[in-house]
Chains A and B, each alone.
Chain A
Amino acid sequence: MRKIGIALCICIICWPGYTAEPDFDAIFKSIDSMSTFEQNDFSSVMTIVSDDPEEGRKVMKVNQFRRDKDDKFLILILEPATQKGQGYLRIEDNLWFYDPESRKFSHSSFKENFQGTDAHNSDFRKRSYSRDYKVASWEEGQLGKYDVYILNLEARNDEVTYPYEKLWVRKDNNLVLKAEDYSLNKRHMRTSFFPNYTKVGDKYLPSKMLFVDELTEGRKTQITMTNISLENLQDQVFTKMYVERVNR
C-alpha cells in the first residue's frame, strides 16, 4: 500500500501538467522586502500625472521621505505652485495633512485618495502582503515577455483597503508587474502596472507606476520616481516643525 502511494506521488509530480506550488511565504517576503526599507531611510521625487476625463490632465511633483522602521513618512508637494508646501506627515498611526495657507495640520486617512488621484495615501507607506493577505488560488502565466505567477489573494482581516487582490509576480525575481484590486463584493476597482524597476542598493524599486480606475471611465494616474536615495535622513524631517519650516 505504501509503495502504491509513493508511486502515485511520483506519477503526479512527473505528470507533464503538474507544477509544484510555489513558496508563497517566500514570494510575499520578497515583495515586502522590495517595498520596505527597514535598514535605511528612503527618499525620492515623484511626478504624478493624473488624467481625468472631466478635469483634464493634472501634473504634480512631490518629494517623498520614508523611515519604515519607525512607520513614518512625509510627502511634500513641490508642484503645482498653487499647492506647493502642502504635505502629508505620518507619525505613528496618525496621518496629518498640512496646508501652508492656513498653517494648520488636519487629520487625513490612509484610505483616502491622494490629492484626487487614483493613488491612495496608503500606496506611499510600507505594505505587508505577508501580514495582510493569503493566497486563495494561483496559476502560472505570461505577462509580456515574462513568466509570472498569477496569485489571487484574500485579505486576512477586514481592515485591509482592498479585500481581494490579484498579483502578477515575475517568477525569476518576484517583482510585481501588475495588480488588480477588488472590492468586498469582488468588483474590479483598480488596476496597477509596474512596468519599470530601478535597482537601488540591493532592492528593486518601481520607477514607473500606472494606476487605472476601473470604475470611472478614462481615469488613470501615472507615477514616475526619480532621485531615489537610501541615504539616512535627519530625524527632524519627520516632524511637524520641519513641515512648517520647509514652507517658509
Chain B
Amino acid sequence: MTTLFLAFRNIERQKKRSILLGGAIAFGIMIITLINSVAVGSVENVKENFSQLLAGHIYIQGKELTESGRTLKIIRDDTLLNSLTADLGDDVQYITKRSYAFCTLIFGSKELMQSIEGVDWTDESYFGRRLIITKGSLDGLENPNAIVLSTETAEKLGVQAGEALLVKLQTVTGQQNVGECKVIALTQGSDMFGSISAYTHIEFLNRLINLKEGEFQMYNIFLKDMGKIDRSAEQLYKALSEAAPVVPRDDTRGEDEAGQQMHSMFGMMSGSKEEESWEGTKYELVTLNDMMSHVMALVDVLNTVIYAIFLILLVIIMVGITNTFRMILVERTREIGTIRAIGMQKNGVRGLFLTEAFYIALFGAFAGLVIASGIAGILSIIPFSTNNPFFIFLNNGKLTFRFMPVSIIINILVIAGTSVLAALFPAQKAAKLDPAKALGTHY
C-alpha cells in the first residue's frame, strides 16, 4: 500500500515529466484504438452496404446451357430453392428474387451506363422504405414501366421525376432490346443503393431481358444473424448439390473470383461460353463473405501496418521510459538511500519504480482512450461525399468507429507490460544501490 501511495506521489511530484511520458503512451494508444475501431466499423459498413445492395447475405444464381454452348443466367422455377431454404429454419429473415441487367439509360442526347435491377416491390416493401426519396414518390410504382433513379444519375442525364427515358440493354441471350420507362422517384445522393443501380419492376425488366413471368436471375437470402452466413451457406450448398448440378464452392471463393462475382451479379457478364456441359439448371452459391475477401485482405494489410507502427511506437516509448527512469534513479539516489536506511527492502524500491511506470502507462492509456473517443465522436458526425471510391466503407456517408473491448484491453496490457519492462533495468539498479553510498552521493 505504501509503495502504491509513494509511486503516485512521485508521479505527482514530477507532473511535467509524467505528462510528457504519459502523452507519448496516450498518443500510441489513441492511434491504435482509432485505426482499429475504424477498420472494424468499415468492415461492418461494407458488409451491411453490400448486403443491402445485393439484397441478401447468400446469393444463388441459376445457369442454363444453350445448344450453342452459351450459358444463360436464369432460374425458371424456385420450388427447389424454397424448400431447401425452408430447412434453414429461423435463421432466415426473408428471401428476395431479383433480375439484373447492365443497361444504357438514354434521355435526349445524353447517355449513361449503369446497372438496373428488377425488384418485386410488393414482396420487398421494406426496400422501398429504405430508399430516401428526394423527388417524386413511390406511389408511382403502379405504373408498370416505373423506374427509380438516384439524384446523381438524374442530374447527369438531365431528367426529372415524371419524365420518360429509354433503357437499352441485352436480353439474357444477348439480343438488343429497348424499353421506355417513366421516372417516378429520385433517391437521395448519399443513399449508396440508388447511386449504383436503378430500380424497376421485375416483370418489366424480365420482359426486356426476355424472361417469362415468374422467372428471375438471383435468389437472395437475408439471414437474421450475419455471423451465421458461412454455416447456413454450407448447409444450403450441401443440400443443393445433392439435388441439382452446382458450381463447386471452391470456384466461387477465391479472391480473383470476387470481382467476377460482383460483375456477374450486376448483369455485366452474360452469355459467356462454358467449358463443361450439364442438364437443367446449374446453381452457383456465393456469400457476402466470399465477396468480402478483397476487403478483408485490405483490412488485414491495414491491421498489419498499424501494428507495425504500434510496435515502433512501443520501442520509442520503451527507450523514453528507460531513459526517464535512469534520470529518476540519478535524481533520487539520496532519497533511495534514506528510504532504504529507514527499512525499505530492495524489492520495495524495485516495486516503487515499476509501479510508477505502470501508473504512467495506465494513465496514458486512459487519456489515449478518452482522446480517441472524442476524435471518433467528432469524425463520426462529419458527412463525407458518397461520390468517392470509399463510400462503400461509410454508413450513409459517415465513418463508423467500433471499439472492441477485448482488443483495447489487450493493447493496454501490452503497453503497460512494455512500460514496466522498460523500467525494469533502472528499477533493478535502484534496488541494488548500497544505502550508505546512496546517502553520501552528491550531484
> Which residue numbers of A lie inside 8 Å of B, CB to CB?
52-54, 93, 111, 155, 157-163, 181, 183-185, 187, 189, 215-219
Contacts and interface: CB of A to CB of B under 8 A. Distances in A.
Contacts of A217: 108-109
24 contacts: A54-B110, A93-B273, A111-B176, A158-B171, A158-B210, A159-B66, A159-B70, A159-B175, A161-B175, A163-B175, A181-B176, A183-B175, A184-B210, A185-B177, A185-B178, A185-B179, A185-B207, A185-B208, A187-B177, A189-B178, A215-B106, A216-B108, A216-B110, A217-B109
Contact of A159 (B109, B174, B179): B174
B373 to A, nearest CB: 44
A184 B176 contact: yes
Contacts, number: 64
Nearest to A111: B174
Contacts of B170: 111
Contacts of B111: 54, 216
A132 to B, nearest CB: 11
Interface string B401-415: 000000000000000
B173 interface: yes
Contact of B171 (A93, A184, A218, A219): A184
B388 interface: no
A187 B178 contact: yes
B14 interface: no
B178 to A, nearest CB: 4
A187 B179 CA distance: 9
A59 B314 CA distance: 60
A188 to B, nearest CB: 9
Contacts of B171: 158, 184
Nearest to A155: B175
Interface in B209-267: 210
A161 B176 contact: yes
A131 to B, nearest CB: 12
B271 A159 contact: yes
Contacts of A155: 175
B109 A184 contact: no
**Pairs of residues from A and B, 3 with the lowest C-beta to C-beta distance, nearest first:** A53-B109, A184-B177, A187-B178
B275 to A, nearest CB: 12
B105 to A, nearest CB: 11
Given A215-B166, A216-B109, A162 B70 contact: no
Nearest to A92: B273
Nearest to A93: B273
